[in-house]
């Protein structure tokens, strides 16, 4: 584990995240994130975009992909209602020999290493937690750890963004925080061809017929303003494929792939989701 010394205090840094996330389609959204992070003059500082949209539309994937596009290490921090200010900065732990070790959060690790910090689902955190990051989000670009008694300055190459779900299970953040999380980049459901590309990217082992059924289901649901996302479609297809895999040959003859997709939609989402499969097709036999 890498360590650094700041004001005489040894900090143990977190590892950057290496996860299989690849953004598909909508290149304009990548351009918007990269523009927010751009420095255009000696007195300029990067902005801290917030990526807003319904759950499952790819906000975290977009942020991760944009960070990787800059060639920077990306650090993901999952925010929750229980996130405390010290969780965002430095946490003390007891080491094996009984001494206190100071563990830098993924955000602080990104600050020190000049990486990208992505605060996922940031509007699940309270104002008290966000307040501890306020000086980082303006031209001061530092945080203070009360626990370790040090001030930590951000590397000039450090960048930050947060994702925020557009739903009711979140906090309303105060204006002084929102004004520091700009610009707002809205991520909507993708168009049909892009949604199919997302399914193909995540399910390269799936028959094209199955992906066509799922993308039609999703597009029909989007038109009805349902919250079902590509992530939901991926999970529906994946579960249906697993069910198909373990079924005996005689069972396969008695079940259609659409029937399995309906079953998966009912279990992963809700019984109402099945209606959107009914709206687009009759049950047809799957040719294994």
Its pTM stands at 0.87
Spatial strand order in the sheet of 3-6: 3-6, 9-12, 100-104, 90-94
Place of tokens 């947060």: 162
170 has pLDDT over 80: no
164 has pLDDT over 80: yes
CA angle 222, 223, 228 (to 5 degrees): 20
- Lookup: tokens for 12: 């143990």
Instruction: Say how far apart CA 160 and CA 118 lie, in whole Å.
Output: 6
User: In degrees rounded to 5, what are phi and psi of residue 169?
Assistant: -95, 40
pLDDT digits (tens, 9 = 90+) for 107-134: 999 999 999 999 999 999 999 999 999 9
- Judge whether 105 and 90 are in contact, CB under 8 Å: yes
- Judge whether 51 and 187 are in contact, CB under 8 Å: yes
Mutual angle of helices 192-202 and 230-246, in 10-degree steps: 50
Output the pLDDT for position 287.
40
- Lookup: tokens for 25: 């389609």
Domains of the chain are 3-186 (3.40.50.300), 192-280 (no CATH)
Most confident of 43-47, 115-119, 241-245: 115-119
SS3 letters for the chain? CCEEEECCEEEECCCCCCCCCCCCCCHHHHHHHHHHHCCCCCCCCCCCCEEEECCCCCHHHHHHHHHHHCCCCEEEEECCCCCCHHHHCEEEEECCCCCEEEEECHHHHHHHHCCEEEEECHHHCCHHHHHCCHHHCCCCCEEEECCCCEEEECCCCCEEEEEEECCCCCCCCCHHHHCCCCCEEECCCCCHHHHHHHHHHHCCCCCHHHHHHHHHHHHHHHHCCCCCCHHHHHHHHHHHHHHHHHCCHHHHHHCCHHHHHHHHHHHHCCHHHHHHHHHHCCCCCCCC
List the one residue out of 263, 258, 270 whose CA is nearest residue 228: 270
Instruction: Say how far apart CA 80 and CA 267 lie, in whole Å.
Output: 26
**What is the rounded average pLDDT of the residues 255-273?**
89
pLDDT digits (tens, 9 = 90+) for 200-236: 999 999 999 899 999 999 999 999 999 999 999 999 9
286 has pLDDT over 60: no
């Amino acid at each position: 584990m890498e360590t650094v010394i700041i004001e005489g205090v040894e900090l143990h840094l977190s590892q950057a995240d290496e996860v299989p996330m690849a953004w598909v389609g909508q290149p304009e959204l990548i351009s918007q994130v990269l523009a927010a992070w751009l420095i255009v003059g000696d007195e300029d500082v990067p902005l801290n975009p917030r990526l807003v949209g319904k759950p499952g539309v790819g906000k975290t994937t977009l942020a991760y992909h944009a960070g990787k596009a800059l060639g920077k290490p990306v650090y993901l921090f999952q925010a929750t209602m229980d996130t405390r200010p010290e969780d965002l900065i430095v946490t003390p732990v007891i080491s094996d020999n009984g001494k206190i070790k100071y563990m830098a959060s993924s955000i602080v690790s990104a600050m020190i290493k000049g990486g990208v910090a992505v605060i996922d689902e940031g509007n699940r955190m309270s104002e008290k937690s966000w307040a501890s990051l306020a000086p980082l989000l303006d031209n001061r670009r530092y945080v203070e750890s009360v626990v370790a008694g040090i001030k930590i300055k951000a590397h000039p190459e450090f960048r930050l963004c947060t994702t925020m779900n557009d739903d009711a299970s979140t906090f309303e953040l105060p204006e002084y925080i929102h004004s520091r999380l700009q610009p707002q980049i809205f991520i909507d459901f993708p168009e049909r061809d892009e949604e199919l590309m997302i399914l193909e990217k995540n399910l390269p082992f799936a028959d094209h017929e199955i992906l066509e059924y799922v993308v039609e289901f999703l597009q029909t649901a989007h038109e009805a303003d349902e919250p079902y996302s590509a992530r939901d479609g991926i999970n529906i297809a994946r579960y249906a494929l697993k069910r198909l895999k373990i079924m005996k040959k005689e069972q396969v003859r008695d079940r259609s792939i659409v029937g399995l997709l309906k079953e998966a939609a009912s279990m992963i989402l809700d019984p109402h989701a099945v209606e959107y499969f009914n709206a687009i097709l009759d049950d047809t036999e799957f040719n294994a």
